[in-house]
């Protein structure tokens, strides 16, 4: 039995929360020196992308305010090109794109729970 869209959205939200909490007092230079966090952040982005890929297509069309394709594509690039990960891009996604995604996901969850 497959999960409901809300469950996948919750996985996305949880990963974004982890990223936000971890970067709260972390600078980009410190991130660039921390291999453990680099790998953890990549894994969180992979989970986000995998959750996106598991959402039904009609759901993604209905909630098109999220660029689902870009997150699924990011996951594919991280998994299949692991030897060439640009951690500057990872940092940028985590700091600049993830908060906006969290806001959109939260609104969608709110609508679905009504």
From residue 2, how far is each of 16, 25, 55, 109 by CA, in Å? 22, 37, 10, 18
81 is catalytic: no
Residue of 43, 75, 77, 81 marked active site: 75
80 is catalytic: yes
CB-based contacts of 105, cutoff 8 Å, min separation 6:
9, 12, 13, 16, 66
Residue of 43, 80, 81, 113 marked active site: 80
In whole angstroms, give the CA distance from residue 23 to residue 90. Answer: 12
In whole angstroms, give the CA distance from residue 94 to residue 16. Answer: 8
Among all residues, which ones are annotated catalytic? 75, 80
């Amino acid at each position: 039995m497959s999960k409901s869209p809300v469950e996948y959205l919750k996985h996305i939200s949880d990963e974004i929360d982890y990223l936000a909490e971890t970067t709260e007092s972390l600078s980009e230079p410190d991130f660039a020196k921390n291999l453990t966090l680099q790998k953890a952040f990549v894994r969180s982005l992979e989970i986000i992308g995998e959750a996106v890929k598991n959402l039904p297509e009609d759901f993604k069309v209905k909630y098109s305010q999220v660029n689902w394709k870009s997150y699924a594509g990011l996951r594919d690039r991280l998994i299949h090109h692991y030897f060439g990960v640009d951690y500057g891009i990872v940092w940028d996604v985590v700091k600049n794109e993830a908060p906006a995604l969290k806001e959109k996901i939260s609104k969608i969850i709110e609508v679905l729970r009504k």
